[in-house]
Amino acid sequence: MTRVLVTGGCGFVGSNLVATLQRAGGFEIVVLDDESLGSRANLQDFSGTFLKGDIADRGLVRRALADVNVVVHLAAHTRVIESIETPEKTFHANVAGTFGLLEECRRAGIRRFVNASTGGAIVGDVVPPVTEEFPPRPLSPYGASKLATEGLCSAYTASYGMACVSLRFSNIYGPGSLHKGSVVAHFLKQVLALRPLIVYGDGTQQRDYLFIDDLVEGLVRVLKSDATGTFQLGSGKGTPLNELIAIIGRVTGRSLDVRYEAVRTGEIHSTWNDTAKARAAFGFDPRTSLADGIARTWDWFRAQQADGRPLG
- The pLDDT assigned to 215 comes to 98
Q: Is 215 helix (H, G, I), strand (E, B) or coil?
A: helix
Whether residue 131 is predicted with pLDDT greater than 70 in this model: the reply is yes
Kindly tell me the sign of the dihedral angle through the C-alpha atoms of 142, 119, 268, 251.
negative
With H, G, I as helix, E, B as strand and everything else as coil, classify residue 2. Answer: strand
212 close to 172: Cβ distance less than 8 angstroms: yes
- CA–CA separation, 69 and 304 (whole Å): 36
Residue 312: what pLDDT?
Answer: 67
| Domain range annotation of the chain | 2-174+210-236+274-287
H or E element in which residue 169 lies: strand 163-169
Percent of the chain with pLDDT over 70: 100
pLDDT at 309 over 90: no
pTM listed for this prediction: 0.96
Least confident of 35-39, 152-156, 202-206, 221-225: 35-39
- Residues belonging to the active site: 142
Does residue 184 surpass a pLDDT of 70?
yes
Q: Cα(59)–Cα(57) distance, rounded to whole angstroms?
A: 6
Domain 2-174+210-236+274-287: assigned CATH number: 3.40.50.720
